[in-house]
């Protein structure tokens, strides 16, 4: 017998009087703050009708499966290795570089990413100096690859060359693995698009000292349960994207006995002085979980949001490998350092939004009131922000919970259908790079990810399901 013949619990869309009448009769009724989907765009509406209608059950099941795979993934950091050994594509040609964002040709690469690439060419000794490096790049003598297509995710400019030291995270049971460069910290770095002599020197230090030592430390202390630490870090004021200091300290705690045994003061000092050190570990682990959730035919879960300072690219779990791109967003509400203006600001860049695809970062911002206060928001604003993110997500995480919100799970599994319908995208708190001088980070702000590539993605998914 129908349960509704015994007990009615109503969701009301439209005339509020209908909900009032139900409540007057003693039954629960929740009113939806309804507005025309996709601002009433008939083409988007037709796509959404297909994806909630004839394909609705298929997509719902696929999305549940994608989220359960993301949630089941338990990436362990098993070592720090030379990139070429873990990322075969880098080693398969004479001069190859990986970069953040969707694939791009050299002529369209933004200024900060060009500087990072030139520094990587110098670091690899493919050219004696930056001028020569630019000549190589101009001549097309360096092959460029999108990190996301080859197992790597990088923050900001996200450049990775064969000799760089990278974290290796994997879930051996699920057969997923991903790498990310060691985080360089502030100042003259590749990730901020400076790429000076100090940056290259630091890469050598990573390659020759810090990387090998970290690999031995992990071998001695055991693999790092990245999400286990992240779940604890959420209770220590981290949201794991803009801020991961607490979690970074947990990593140091994990490695501390090893440092005592093996020494390594210079590496320890570097880690202790870099409050973003954990960021790329989170990214590599998040990429593992994102990969685990991929290849679920029919899923509208966003598996990838990735920017290169020129384009933003989106992928869906149901259409793995297929990019939907558009212009990268400007970083809004930017707080800039003295002497810089919005005209100096480069566009949004980096692979770090992979963190938002698995339920951390912008999905967990209520864990980090300090991040909110940085932009003049309140703790209550962060709670509202998490709630807004839940509007576009398939589920709530079981493993990432927010003590500040009485232990609710973070939203996980961005549903592209809901993004296209509501026009709500993940906000990513990110650094602002200089767009032409190599001044590096000139501020920080919020990058609202663009909706149009997501709209294209849902249309692509509907077509794929029609054809199936």
Partner 1 sequence: MGWQTRVIRGRYADSMRLMGIAKGIRATDGVDGAEVAMGTPANLEALSGMGVSVDAAPGDVVIAVNAAVDAVGAAALDTAEQGLVALESGGGGSVEVAPARTLVSAAAGQPGSNVALVSVPGEYATLEAHRALTSGMHVFLFSDHVSVPDEVELKQRGEAKDLLVMGPGCGTAMLGGVGLGFMNVVRRGPVGIVAAAGTGAQEAACLLEAAGTGVSQIIGVGGRDLSADVGGIMFRQGMRMLTGDPQTETLLLVSKPPSPEVVQTLGEAVPPGVRVVAAFVGWEGGPAPFEVHATLEEGAYAAAGAAPPAQPAMPATPPWTAARGKHLLALYSGGSLAHEALTILEPRIAVAGNVTHHPAPAGGHTVLDLGEEEYTRGRPHPMVDLTVRLDMLADAERDPALGCVLLDVVLGHGSHPDPASELAPALGRLAERVAVVAHVCGTAGDPQDAARQEAALRDAGVVVTASNAAAARLALRAVLGV
N-to-C CA span, the chain: 35
For 292, the token pair is 């685990």
34 binds partner 1 (CB under 8 A): yes
Report whether 76 contacts 289 (CB < 8 A).
no
14 binds partner 1 (CB under 8 A): yes
Sequence-ordered list of residues with C-beta below 8 angstroms from that of 6, at least 6 positions apart, any chain: none
What is the rounded CA–CA span in Å between residue 127 and residue 137?
10
For 212, the token pair is 């090998």
With CA atoms as reference, report the closest residue to 109 among 84, 146, 71.
146
Q: Name all contacts of 379-384 with Cβ < 8 Å and 24+ positions apart.
A: 379/404
Span near partner 1 by CB under 8 A; candidates 44-52, 198-206, 213-221, 315-323: 44-52
Span near partner 1 by CB under 8 A; candidates 29-37, 241-249, 273-281, 459-467: 29-37
375-414 positions binding partner 1, by CB under 8 A: 380, 383-384, 387-388, 390-391, 396-399, 401, 403, 405-409
Span near partner 1 by CB under 8 A; candidates 49-57, 146-154, 353-361, 426-434: 49-57
Report whether 168 contacts 77 (CB < 8 A).
yes
> Whose Cβ is closer to partner 1: residue 89's or residue 227's?
227
With CA atoms as reference, report the closest residue to 162 among 77, 78, 89, 79.
89
> Whose Cβ is closer to partner 1: residue 331's or residue 416's?
416
- Least distance in Å: CB of 301 to partner 1? 14
Compute how many residues bind partner 1; rule: CB under 8 A: 75
Span near partner 1 by CB under 8 A; candidates 33-41, 110-118, 121-129, 264-272: 33-41
- C-alpha to C-alpha distances, 132 to 125, 128, 144, nearest whole angstrom: 11, 7, 17
> Whose Cβ is closer to partner 1: residue 204's or residue 387's?
387
Span near partner 1 by CB under 8 A; candidates 89-97, 109-117, 225-233, 343-351: 225-233
- Least distance in Å: CB of 76 to partner 1? 10
What string marks each residue from 67 to 106 as x (binds partner 1 by CB under 8 A) or -?
A: -------x--------------------------------
111 binds partner 1 (CB under 8 A): no
371 binds partner 1 (CB under 8 A): no
- Out of 49, 111, 143, 149, which residue is the one contacting partner 1 (CB under 8 A)? 49
Angle at CA 333, nearest 5°, toward 332 and 334?
Answer: 85
Instruction: Give the orientation angle of helix 56-72 with respect to helix 452-467, to 10 degrees.
Output: 110
- Least distance in Å: CB of 280 to partner 1? 21
Pairing of strands 143-146, 96-99: parallel
- C-alpha to C-alpha distances, 145 to 117, 169, 243, 315, nearest whole angstrom: 12, 20, 28, 17
422 binds partner 1 (CB under 8 A): yes
> Whose Cβ is closer to partner 1: residue 188's or residue 421's?
421
39 binds partner 1 (CB under 8 A): no
> Whose Cβ is closer to partner 1: residue 23's or residue 130's?
23
With CA atoms as reference, report the closest residue to 375 among 420, 419, 333.
333
41 binds partner 1 (CB under 8 A): no
In terms of phi and psi (left: phi > 0; alpha: psi -120 to 50; beta: otherwise), the region of 334 is beta
2 binds partner 1 (CB under 8 A): yes
């Amino acid at each position: 017998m129908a349960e509704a013949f015994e007990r009615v619990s109503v969701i009301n869309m439209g005339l509020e009087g209908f909900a009032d009448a139900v409540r007057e009769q003693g039954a629960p009724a929740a009113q939806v703050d309804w507005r025309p989907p996709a601002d009433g765009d008939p083409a988007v509406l037709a796509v959404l009708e297909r994806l909630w209608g004839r394909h609705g059950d298929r997509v719902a099941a696929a999305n549940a499966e994608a989220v359960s795979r993301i949630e089941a993934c338990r990436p362990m950091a098993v070592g720090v290795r030379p990139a070429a050994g873990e990322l075969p594509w880098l080693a398969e040609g004479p001069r190859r570089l990986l970069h953040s964002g969707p694939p791009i040709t050299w002529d369209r690469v933004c200024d900060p990413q060009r500087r990072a690439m030139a520094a990587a060419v110098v670091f690899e000794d493919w050219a004696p100096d930056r001028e020569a490096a630019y000549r190589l790049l101009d001549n097309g003598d360096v092959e460029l690859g999108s990190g996301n297509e080859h197992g790597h995710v990088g923050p900001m400019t996200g450049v990775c060359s064969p000799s760089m030291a990278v974290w290796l995270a994997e879930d051996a049971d699920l057969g997923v693995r991903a790498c990310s460069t060691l985080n360089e910290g502030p100042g003259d770095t590749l990730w901020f698009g400076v790429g000076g002599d100090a940056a290259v020197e630091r890469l050598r230090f990573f390659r020759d000292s810090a990387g090998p030592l970290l690999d031995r430390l992990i071998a001695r202390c055991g693999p790092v349960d990245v999400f286990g630490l992240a779940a604890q870090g959420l209770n220590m004021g981290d949201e794991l994207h803009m801020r991961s200091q607490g979690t970074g300290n947990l990593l140091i705690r994990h490695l501390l006995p090893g440092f005592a045994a093996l020494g390594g003061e210079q590496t320890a000092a570097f880690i202790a002085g870099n409050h973003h050190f954990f960021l790329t570990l989170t990214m590599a682990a998040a990429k593992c979980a994102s990969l685990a959730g991929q290849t679920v035919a029919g899923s509208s879960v966003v598996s990838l949001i990735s920017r290169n300072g020129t384009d933003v690219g989106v992928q869906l779990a149901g259409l793995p490998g297929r990019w939907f791109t558009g212009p990268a967003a400007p970083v809004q509400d930017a707080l800039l350092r003295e002497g810089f203006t919005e005209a100096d600001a480069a566009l949004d860049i980096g692979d770090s939004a992979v963190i938002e695809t698995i339920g951390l970062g912008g999905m967990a911002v209520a864990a980090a009131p300090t991040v909110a206060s940085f932009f003049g928001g309140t703790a209550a604003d962060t709670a509202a922000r998490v709630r807004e993110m839940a509007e576009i997500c398939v589920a709530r995480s079981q493993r990432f919970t927010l003590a500040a919100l009485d232990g609710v799970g973070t939203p996980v599994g961005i549903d592209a259908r809901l993004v296209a319908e509501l026009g709500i995208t993940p906000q990513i708190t990110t650094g602002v790079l200089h767009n032409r001088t190599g001044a590096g980070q000139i501020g920080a702000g919020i990058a609202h990810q663009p909706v149009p590539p997501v709209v294209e993605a849902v249309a692509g998914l509907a077509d794929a399901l029609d054809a199936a």
